[in-house]
Amino acid sequence: MKHFVFCAANIPENELEIMMAIQAISALDDYWNMNATITGVYEGSEFIVNSNDGNNTSICVEDDDIHRLIYSCMEFASEITKLKFKQP
């Protein structure tokens, strides 16, 4: 299953938004890798970034486990929101 969590036009006004979305994925991957090192279980789904989706950048989350997919989507939304509030 897959679910799209982000889409923005590749225009200068959206560069910061796109950068924050990619930073959110990186932060989640770091967090899940750290937990996997400790517990032996990777908790997240696969994020697929398409930077040329019809002149848009889109991000979808893919997983066979619906519960992990929902969890990953919610964690992405939470992480990108944190990054937005940190911006000056």
Going by C-alpha positions, the residue among 80, 74, 56 that lies closest to residue 7 is: 56
Domain count for the chain: 1
Strand partners, 63: none
User: Which domain covers residue 7, as residue numbers?
Assistant: 2-86
pTM: 0.90
How far, in Å, CA of 66 to CA of 69, rounded?
A: 5
Q: What is the CATH number of the domain that holds 81?
A: 3.30.70
Per-residue pLDDT of the chain (88 residues; tens, 9 = 90+): 999 999 999 999 999 999 999 999 999 999 999 999 999 989 999 999 999 999 999 999 999 999 999 999 999 999 999 998 887 6
- Within a 10 A sphere around the Cβ of 42, how many other Cβ atoms? 13
Which contacts qualify for 26-30: CB closer than 8 Å, 24 or more apart?
27/79, 27/83, 28/72, 28/75, 28/76, 28/79
Only one residue has tokens 């970034």, namely: 49
